[in-house]
Structure 1
């Protein structure tokens, strides 16, 4: 069951909390007390209301969430300290080329989630969290773009609008955290598909619970990606867990990549931040829906 905080959360309050953490150089959260509301998936600007779904979309049933577009309400803990055994860097890595920020409308908007290119016959597929692109009450967002390799306002690999989005019916109906995964087709640019330009990670299914992975994502308050390397563990039979510092709003959808090959600059994506608590209720621990048969079926639908 997805854990949801009671009552609406002010975007301004969430933004202040995230900015304060960033300014302080915070790492990991320790201790359950003194929590402040935040969002793992950062919503659109506080100055603009969230746009509605596609005109042709049929809103799903009401969600238990009180968020304006299903963005998760999460908590930042007050007592902070660095974890051991975790490698984290904000420097560019060879992995980052396949990973990008998800923006509203264009690269001048807010980046509130993360996505990455995944191998497909159409050469045009990205993977992210379902809660980044589809709300059970409102349907699919129609205004999103994928900006791979985004850094400090630069869009070195182009801006790729999202077209068709595929999510599991159980997500559409009930925001089932076990299928908080989405595949999206992106629009070709200059006659080329995104995989032709960047390459792609492979999809990894039923790879188990303990895997050495790299996780790269875009915190909403940062103009550069961060990367964490650590070993995953089993949160439940349907959920993975990883401990990484500083994974605040904006990092939902960040790929968990194992078997990374520095020569091809690709690996196997075995998870994305999302799932339990829509990714996590503190910035030091993140979750992913387990990539098993249901994710394979979702991928088959997206590429069929």
Structure 2
């Protein structure tokens, strides 16, 4: 690899614990990003296995994707599993396909970490989409290098850098024609928004990705501080909640609710933060409040239940 790209992948791989003999399962699609991912893991000396989830949505093109994965794995002497990734017709296809890939990876990988080919460009796109869709600053903390078992060794390399590196080495890859369709929101960001931002500032993509990295570090700190407002039984003492800075109180409420499988809307958070009282929540959950503490109850729990 070119020294700069190789150095970044090696440095990120070391930070993720990817080195000689390290077991890892790599998700591969035949595209440029996952092709360089598999090459990089092999060159790091990992004990890598590859997985291709075949969604079979594009007819002969999907078959060619699987064949490309087989050819690359054979060239690198990497064991490859190709599994059925078909999903039923219906809405939000992109999300359901992503869920199917994740489920297949978790089933196939056993206890191994799972590496994906997400790049710096994917991170920048995700930041823009989340900010537009949610309006929450936590949307900045997108695609961290490590997310539990999920690892992203290419997260410091842009999509263009990945393609240039493969072209330099003469390594072929597959292009998914659906990525150029203007319909999906992520495609519009990739095809229209980011190029426009690059005209305004040539470092836009990298700066967005850097903001995500910094935001992820800050999110971890804020999560730790917010958890300090939550008692071991999942309840929040009223006094400290009211005394906390608004941003910290909001986060503590959301995290305490999430432990009960509940998602709070903006109005719920503000009402409970400023004047805690019993409140019915979306999804039939409940905020149960006594003079000293607030507890979130999942659907079907009676008053005073769910604190264990």
TM superposition score category, shorter chain reference: under 0.3
Q: Relative contact order, CA 8 A, sep 6+: which one is greater? A: 1
TM-score w.r.t. length of structure 1? 0.27
Q: Flag the structure with larger Rg.
A: 2
Judging by fraction of residues, say which structure has more helix: 2
TM-score w.r.t. length of structure 2? 0.27
Judging by fraction of residues, say which structure has more strand: 1
